[in-house]
């Protein structure tokens, strides 16, 4: 035993040196090495700000994060959420994946019917909905508002019918289904006739059936304003241009008034003019 643990002087010195070296290494790694580790207080504040900003940005643009935010809403306008495509939703601040999620929801569960349907989407936060809500406008709401306004206007027109023989172009245009072109045609035809004396004359107008129906409903005949011809002094051309007239009728009138002043037309034979045309003809003459 003594043989194994008996050291010479040189060997004892070597063991001491080895132990000293081990102690120095232990000290360095367990004590002195701490001076090389960075302290939390030594981090540059600018680096902290960058880290926070980067984290917030990642959260905003992440597919499953909250809504993206658009700072400038000056270019936003009213929109129907049922008309928006992927680009439309991304322009409102959503990521592409969020936009596709919204479109999938609409396709699977039908079109959006009210604003609260948008709020139900899991990709739309309360804050984002509050931003969008003032700009949401469904087409159906626009149609209903327009129909209500038109109904009110129609009621007003019915209560205050225009006088067809005095109506201005603006008054005619205000009637349903009658625009500037139809109004001009009505006025030209009215001038050619000397005025309308029966609604049946609307059938001779080159306008749509809806426009003719509009005249029947919203215009009234004011026959007192019809331009009339003095049958005892009118020329044959003037007599011929009277609605319901014919050259045979004109010839008989000219011949009869040479005998005496005309006071009625009861003497006309039935084969010269029909009762219907005679009724119209009489409304354009004076005796």
What is the tens place of the pLDDT at every residue in 131-159? 888 888 887 655 555 555 555 555 555 55
Q: What 3 state SS string does 11-77 have?
A: HHHHHHHHHHHHHHHHHHHHCHHHHHCCCHHHCCHHHHHHHHHHHHHHHHHCCCCCCCCCCCCCCCC
pLDDT at 189: 96
pLDDT at 158: 55
CA–CA separation, 287 and 231 (whole Å): 6
pTM to 2 decimals?
0.46
pLDDT at 53: 38
For the chain, what's the residue count? 287
Q: Which residues of the chain have pLDDT under 50?
A: 1, 33, 37, 40-41, 43, 45-71
pLDDT at 248: 93
């Amino acid at each position: 035993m003594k043989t194994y643990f008996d050291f010479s002087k040189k060997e004892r010195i070597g063991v001491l040196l080895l132990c000293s070296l081990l102690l120095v290494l232990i000290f360095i790694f367990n004590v002195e090495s701490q001076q090389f580790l960075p302290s939390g207080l030594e981090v540059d504040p600018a680096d902290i700000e960058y880290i926070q900003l980067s984290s917030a940005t990642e959260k905003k643009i992440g597919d499953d994060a909250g809504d993206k935010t658009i700072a400038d809403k000056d270019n936003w306008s009213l929109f129907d959420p049922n008309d928006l495509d992927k680009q439309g939703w991304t322009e409102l601040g959503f990521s592409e994946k969020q936009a596709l999620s919204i479109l999938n929801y609409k396709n699977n569960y039908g079109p959006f019917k009210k604003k609260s349907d948008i709020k139900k989407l899991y990709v739309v936060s309360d804050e984002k909905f509050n931003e969008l809500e003032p700009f949401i406008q469904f087409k159906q709401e626009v149609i209903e508002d327009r129909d209500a306004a038109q109904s009110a206007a129609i009621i007003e027109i019915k209560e205050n019918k225009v006088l067809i023989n005095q109506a201005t172009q603006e008054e005619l245009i205000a009637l349903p289904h009658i625009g500037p072109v139809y109004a001009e045609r009505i006025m030209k035809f009215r001038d050619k006739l000397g005025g309308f004396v029966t609604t049946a004359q609307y059938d001779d107008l080159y306008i749509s059936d809806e426009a003719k129906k509009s005249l029947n409903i919203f215009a009234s005949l004011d026959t007192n304003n019809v331009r009339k011809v003095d049958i005892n002094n009118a020329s044959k051309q003037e007599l011929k241009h009277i609605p319901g007239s014919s050259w045979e009728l004109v010839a008989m009138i000219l011949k009869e008034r040479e005998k005496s002043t005309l006071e009625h037309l009861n003497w006309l034979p039935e084969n010269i003019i029909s009762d219907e045309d005679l009724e119209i003809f009489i409304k354009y003459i004076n005796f």
